[in-house]
Amino acid sequence: MADGYTVTDVKQRTRFTAGGGRVSYYDITVTTEQGATGTLRIVSKDYSPETVTERLSDFVKDLNMPFEL
């Protein structure tokens, strides 16, 4: 488990743009130790262990912000 959160789901998805192009991305759902839940979307071309770890860390900080007031 990463510091402060658990990844509960990862889904690969594809969407079509208005111009007929395709965009592939991953939705990563996490639950924080405080109980907040959220989903982070990362485009497939940016999906790497380093990028995911960095973005999830920032995302979890934002999710936990209401608990730190």
Q: Is 25 helix (H, G, I), strand (E, B) or coil?
A: strand
The Cα–Cα gap between 60 and 30 comes to 8
pLDDT higher than 80, residue 11: yes
At 30-66, the pLDDT tens digits run 999 999 999 999 999 999 999 999 999 999 999 988 8
Q: Do residues 41 and 25 lie in contact, with contact meaning Cβ atoms separated by under 8 Å? A: yes
Q: Do residues 56 and 1 lie in contact, with contact meaning Cβ atoms separated by under 8 Å? A: no
pLDDT bin (cut points 50, 70, 90) of residue 69 is: low
